[in-house]
Every structure is written in C-alpha cells, then in structure tokens.
Amino acid sequence: ASADDLKRQVGYRAVDDYVRSGMVVGLGTGSTAAYAVERVGHKLSSGELKDIVCIPTSVRTEEQARSLNVPLTILDTHSKLDVAIDGADEVDDALNLVKGRGGALLREKMVEVCAKQFIVIVDESKLVPGLGVSGAMPVEVTPFCWQHTLRQIAALPSVAGCRAEPRRTGDSQLYVTDNQNYIVDLYFDRPIADAHRAAAELLNTVGVVEHGLFLDMATVALVAGKDGIYEKRK
C-alpha cells in the first residue's frame, strides 16, 4: 500500500469506529485528516450518518467540508465535542504529539481540547521514541515584534540548543496562519527532554499564541502500518 492508501485507510477507519449519528465532531487538518472529512461527507450523503454537526480546525478543512455539504458549527455555540479526529506530525509512546507542521495548530488545539475523545490518525512513520526530532516543532506567535519573540523562545531553558526559524512560504514571504499570526519553527538535535516544561515555558512567553506540543490530549492513536491498522493506547 502507498503512503496515501494508508492515510485513506486510517482516516476512513476513524470515522467508521468513532463517529455516530447525532454527534458533534471536530475535523482535523492535513492530508490524513482530509480522508476522515471525506468519509464523514460520504456517510452523511448516503444517510449512514445523520444529525452530525462538525467543527473544522482550519479554513482549508472548512472549505473541504462545505464542498461535501457537511453541516458546520463553531465553538462559540458548541463548546463540547463528542469526538475529534486529526493527524499528527509525531506521536510518542505516551500519546503526546507534535502538531502544526500544517500550520493549523491553534484552531486544532482549541477544538481538540474540547473533545471527549480525540482520535489521532497516523501512519507508522509518525511514531517516535521522543518528541521533536523528525522535523519542526511549530510555535505560533503574534506578528508584533516577532523577531524579539523568536529570541525569547530560543533562550528558554527547556528548549536550549534548538534552532529557531520563522516559517516562510515558497516565495520566502513569512507564512501567515488562519489567525493572521506567524510561525516560529524549532528544530532540535535530540528529543525534547521535558515536553511539559517546554509547553509551560512557551505559553508563559508573551507574544507566543500557542505551540505544537499536544500533551495528555489524545485518547487513542489509530496507526496504519504494513500489517493493517492497530490502536495504540497509553
């Protein structure tokens, strides 16, 4: 199976196993989550699912859901979700995650923290022994004096030694999130030693809006591998 087949399988499976009629459902962002959104859309139009309302975690996901006629709502009117389904960039053994390489971390965290069950859908390549080394750990920052904020972040003891880079688009403009903020990507040579401490220090930094460490949030990870899909729990 190709990487894309695995993403489709695990995205579909999450909907089949965890989404029931009448639920409020959080829709994640990314190439894996897009398959879950597709499945919700198809099951609504076939009538297999009814009375679902969904909360998208990005403008991209909102547009996809709309194109599939998936009924949408927002946290302002629905603060409690039955389930949220999303991909991740890294998943460790305790089901702690790095997310946000797709840029949607703030809305993802706001929505997923409100879900009774948060289902993470990944292929095996996302499983890591420690967080922070397969790529960037993103931090969303407010645009005002972002270079100052970047230096404050890089100087935090819990992320000592990291390389901090502003995220840029292909034409080297600063990447702008759905919330009109910027992203500082942190790169590490070794796994983040204390992710809870890093999370606390980052959130205590004025100018930081949110970070990509999703700790103690996931209920279960559905993992797609060569031998099929399995559930990973703590």
Positions that interact with ligand DER (CB under 6 A):
28-33, 86-89, 99-102, 104, 108
Q: Count the alpha carbons within 13 Å of 194 in the hemisphere toward its beta carbon.
A: 10
Run of H or E including 184: strand 182-187
Residue with tokens 């401490």, as numbered in its chain: 197
Say which amino acid occupies 38: E
Q: Which residue, judged by CB position, is nearest to ligand DER in the bound state? A: 30
Tell me the residue type at 23: M
- Distance (Å, rounded) from C-alpha 234 to C-alpha 96? 10
Angle between helices 3-18 and 33-46 (to 10 degrees): 50
Q: Supply the minimum distance, in Å, between the C-beta of residue 48 and ligand DER.
A: 24
Please answer whether residues 13 and 42 qualify as being in contact, where contact means their C-beta atoms are separated by less than 8 angstroms.
Answer: no
Residue 7 or 43: the one with the smaller Cβ distance to ligand DER is: 7
In the complex, the smallest distance separating the C-beta of residue 69 from ligand DER, rounded to whole angstroms, is 23
CB nearer ligand DER, residue 1 or residue 160: 1
Q: Provide the minimum distance between the beta carbon of 139 and ligand DER in the complex, in angstroms, as a whole number.
A: 13
Q: Give the separation between CA 99 and CA 218, rounded to whole angstroms.
A: 12
Q: Which C-beta is closer to ligand DER: that of 31 or that of 45?
A: 31
Query: Which amino acids are annotated catalytic?
Result: 108
Please state the closest distance from residue 222 (CB atom) to ligand DER, in A: 12
Comparing CB distances to ligand DER, the nearer of 28 and 132 is 28
